[in-house]
Amino acid sequence: MSCRLRAVVACVVVLISSSAVGGQVQDDRVALVVEPGRPLRVRLNERVTIEHVGQIVTATVADPVFAYDRVVIPAGAAVTGHIASFASPSRWARARTIVRGDFTPQRTPVVQFDMLTLPDGTQLPISTAVETGRERITWSMTTAAAKHSGVVARGKAQVAGQAKQAIAVAKQRVRDAVIAVKTPHKMQRLKEAAIAQLPYHPQYLRAGTLYAAELAASVSFGEIIAAEPALPGDKPSPQGVLTARLVTPLDSATTPKGTPIQAVLTEPVFSADRRLIFPEGTRLDGEVTFAKHAASMHRNGQLRFLIERVRAPEHESKALLASLYAVEAKQDDRLVVDDEGGASATNSKTRFIAPALALMSLHAAVDQDHRRFDNDADDNEPVVGQANIGGRGVAGWFGFGLLGAGLGQISRPVAIALGVYGAARATYSNLLGKGHDVVFPANTLIQVQLSPVASAQSQ
In a domain, 128, yes or no: yes
φ, ψ at 298 (rounded to 5°) = 60, 35
What is the number of alpha carbons within 13 Å of residue 135 lying toward its C-beta?
11
Beta bridge partners of 211: 42
Determine the 3-state secondary structure of 386 from DSSP: coil
Opening angle at CA 446, ends 445 and 447, nearest 5: 140
Domain-embedded: residue 18: no
What angle is formed at CA 216 by the lines to CA 215 and CA 217, rounded to 5 degrees? 90
Strands 241-246 and 445-450: antiparallel
The domain boundary residue, chosen from 225, 256, 277: 225
Task: Please state, in angstroms and as integers, the Cα–Cα distance from residue 434 to each residue in 294, 337, 386, 409, following that order.
Answer: 6, 21, 42, 33
184 cis-preceded (ω within 30 degrees of 0): yes
Instruction: Give residue-wise pLDDT tens across range 326-382.
Output: 999 888 888 889 888 899 988 888 888 888 888 888 888 887 554 444 445 455 555
Phi, psi torsion values for 113, nearest 5 degrees: -105, 135
**Cα-Cα end-to-end distance for the chain:** 58
Taking the C-alpha atoms of residue 111 and residue 53, their distance in angstroms, rounded to an integer, is 9
Phi then psi dihedrals of residue 96, to 5 deg: -65, -35
Q: What is the pLDDT of residues 94-116, one digit of tens each?
A: 777 776 677 777 778 888 999 99
Q: Does residue 129 sit within a domain?
A: yes
Of 80, 174, 67, 186, the closest CA to residue 125 belongs to 80
357/221 same-domain check: no
Decide if pLDDT at 269 tops 80: yes
Residue-level pLDDT at 4: 53
Q: Do 218 and 74 belong to one domain?
A: yes
Beta strands (DSSP E) in 92-226 are 108-117, 123-125, 128-130, 137-141, 204-205, 210-215, 219-225
- Measure the CA–CA gap between 323 and 238, rounded to whole angstroms: 13
Between residues 190 and 87, the one the model is more confident about = 87
Provide CB contacts within 8 A for 133, sequence distance 6+.
Answer: 44, 111, 205, 209, 210, 211
DSSP 413-457: HHHHHHHHHHHHHHHIIIIIS--PPPEE-TT-EEEEEE-TTHHHH
pLDDT of 96 reads 72
H or E element: which one contains 182? helix 160-182
Mean pLDDT of 271-281: 87
User: What confidence score (pLDDT) does residue 170 get?
Assistant: 47
pLDDT for 288 beyond 80: yes
Q: Could you report the per-residue pLDDT of 393-448, keeping only the tens digit for each?
A: 777 777 777 777 777 788 888 888 888 888 888 888 888 888 999 999 999 999 99
106 CB-near residues (< 8 Å, 6+ apart): 88, 89, 93, 94, 97, 203
Last residue of a domain, one of 195, 225, 255: 225
Residue 297 lies in a domain: no
Q: What is the mean pLDDT of the chain?
A: 77
CA-nearest of 454, 156, 145 to 322 is: 454
Residue 175 lies in a domain: no
In this structure, is residue 127 part of a structural domain?
yes
* pLDDT for the residue 256: 94
User: Cβ neighbours of residue 178 under 8 Å, at least 6 residues apart?
Assistant: none
Overall domain count for the chain:
2
Quote the pLDDT of residue 166: 45
Domain end position, chosen among 194, 225, 256: 225
CATH number of residue 46's parent domain? 2.40.128.260
Domain containing 35: what range? 30-135+206-225
CA 33 to CA 218: how far, in whole Å? Answer: 7
- Domain assignment of residue 24, yes or no: no
Predicted local confidence at residue 73, as pLDDT: 93
Is there a domain that residue 388 lies in? yes
Question: Rounded to an integer, what is the distance from CA 374 to the centroid of its chain?
Answer: 62
pLDDT tens digits along 193-205? 666 666 776 788 8
- pTM, two decimal places: 0.73
Read off the DSSP letter of residue 381.
P
